[in-house]
Structure 1
């Protein structure tokens, strides 16, 4: 990625907002976020945690008028055509405000698959399933619709698929990966199609966002590693750090947890679209 292409893409911000309360309280939370500069409401894809992503996102789109997306679909959990149909339907129902985030599954996905009575299969098969979902989605979208695809990727093979297919790429990396290591990861990715680079920020100050990192995550360890998975709680320092990551590494889409989204709203309002 060149310096010019890094600077050309504007900043935007998303919120992972699973339903952890009663629905009216959750809807009120989304209404408060609307108009503060956030672009996207995001839902995880873990059956034990909350209602299914598609109906939840349809409600979120209606409540807020914002874009909505999955963060992210687990490719092995459902047939490719079913995921693609759901994604295309959300694009149609939201007037083009849906973004399909997809990956091969969270750590421990094999255990979840066994609990659901689904085949575990090798990691390579799960990556093939991602490709099958995107292919089915493109067929359903047809020539006149384009559902943006965000891919969560780790290793070289997954990154190669994302470089070919994704509109947005977020890297799956250890929370204590150093800034220098992340910079090398971004550089090695190359980003030949100038995809949007998204950063999953699970720790703000000493707070660990639910559903974005394990509750045992140690914020001090992340700070000691100079990890980009965390941001300072001070709004001014957070804004400076976001701009630094945009300038140095090309990250332009920052994703936070709902529990800190309100506190960061002034930062988001200041930086969104820059």
Structure 2
């Protein structure tokens, strides 16, 4: 485990001044920070479209920080390098035996977490996590992510405390404001879906309820078999995933882990811009946030069945465009890509579709805990 290493993570400039906004040209990644965008464009040129765009982004961010922020930086804006963590995302298995076997294999391969989605077509996340936890010793678990518009905040708080106890403190609560298309699930459940703003408000209420419920449980002096208390103190870590600015603001204020999303067609440039936006929003709290990103596929063999996961786009076409949803190349190439992303942007928590668990395992063996 790396301790004591500090990397300069000086914050990009604040929100744009009035009159500076420019609508992105067709095909140009959107960036709401003109100085950041201009500096990147000036230093990147067309390199971000090359085969190894992460190299260009890393170098560009380094030069940007060096040139634009030559003055001393406060300790609050320095980020300690976090050790890598790796998780697999899995939602189904043919049998209970297959489910627990998969969890044990992930643990044996060195993965840190097993993450379960929340849909009406897959396992219900909390019982699935409880079953896998009973078959493992060190593997951690998380919802990825709980579709909070479909859950009452108090129920989420109770489930969080229960699963934290049943996993013996190996749970991380992942929350979202509702993925695209989930309104049909709300209709099936007879639950009002709400506007995007209403769903973010519901997510904020959920986070507040979870924190307060677990705080009261920890502070309670009651004893006996009927007393629920979280194992992790003061509570399990909270992950919030999303892309919108209001959601990122909530995540920056309340979450411990932030799932950075840019969509399947996002490039290294888009990822750098999104982290810059988050850095601007989070301010002095940014160094305390763990940044996570999900990888849809690993390796050079990209099957056609991945299309629905990638918005219907041919995965080979995304690979040609430099999509960050795909991690390609040799083991050393993939290791280098993840190391450079962490150095440039601070992203240290990597999750991957469980289908590619074995393909990423050599990378996990080299980087996990480093």
Q: TM-score, normalised by structure 2?
A: 0.69
Question: For the Cα contact (< 8 Å) 1:201–1:256, is it kept in 2?
Answer: yes
- Say which of 161, 168, 176 aligns to 2:257: 168
Note if 1:258 corresponds to 2:258. Answer: no
The whole-number CA distance in structure 2 between the counterparts of 1:210 and 1:81 is: 36
Q: Using CA pairs below 8 Å that are at least 6 residues apart, which structure has the higher relative contact order? A: 1
Q: Is the 8 A contact 2:81 2:346 kept in 1?
A: no
Change (3 A) 1:250 1:256: same
Return closer, same or farther for 1:6/1:223 CA change in 2, 3 Å cut-off. Answer: farther
1:187 is aligned, of 255, 270, 276, to 276
Tell me how far apart the structure 2 counterparts of residues 216 and 56 of structure 1 sit (CA, whole Å): 28
- Tell me how far apart the structure 2 counterparts of residues 189 and 212 of structure 1 sit (CA, whole Å): 28
Is the 8 Å Cα contact of residues 149 and 199 (structure 2) preserved in structure 1? yes
Q: Secondary structure at the match of 2:108?
A: coil
> Equivalent residue for 2:294?
200
| Candidates 267, 271, 274, aligned match of 1:178 | 267
Structure 1 residue 209, shift from structure 2 partner: 8.4
Cα deviation, residue 200, structure 1: 0.8
Conserved in 1, the CA contact under 8 Å of 2:118 and 2:144? yes
- 1:34-62 CA-to-partner distances (Å, cap 9, x unmatched) read 1322110110000222x210010011112
Equivalent-residue separation in structure 1 for 2:204 and 2:166 (angstroms): 24
Cα 1:208–1:234 change in 2 (3 A) is farther
Instruction: Look up the match of 1:21.
Output: 94
Residue by residue, what CA displacement relative to the aligned partner does 1:89-129 show, whole Å, maximum 9, x if unpaired?
11122222100000011111222211221112111111111
- 1:237–1:27 distance in 2 versus 1, CA, 3 Å: same
| 1:56 maps to 2:128 | yes
1:72-151 alignment runs, 5 A limit: 72-142=145-215, 144-151=233-240
Contact 2:306–2:315 under 8 Å retained in 1 = no
**Residues 210 and 176 (structure 1 numbering): CA distance in 2 closer, same or farther, change over 3 Å?**
closer
- CA distance in 2: counterparts of 1:83 and 1:28, whole angstroms: 27
Give the aligned partner of residue 239 of structure 1: 335
* Match in the other structure for 2:65: none
- Aligned CA distance change for structure 1 residues 238 and 102 (closer, same or farther; 3 Å): same
Counterpart for residue 364 of structure 2: 268
Q: Distance in 2 between matches of 1:58 and 1:34?
A: 15
C-alpha distance in structure 2 between counterparts of 1:62 and 1:208, whole Å: 35
Contact 2:129 2:141 in 1 (8 A): yes
Shift of 1:202: 0.6
Cα 1:87–1:211 change in 2 (3 A) is: farther
Unaligned runs of 5+ in 2: 1-7, 11-76, 219-232
What's the RMSD between the two structures over aligned residues?
Answer: 2.1
CA distance in 2, matches of 1:88, 1:62: 16
Report if aligned partners of 1:212, 1:257 keep a CA contact under 8 Å in 2: no
TM-score by length of 1: 0.92
**1:12 equivalent in structure 2:** 85
Matched, 1:225 2:321: yes
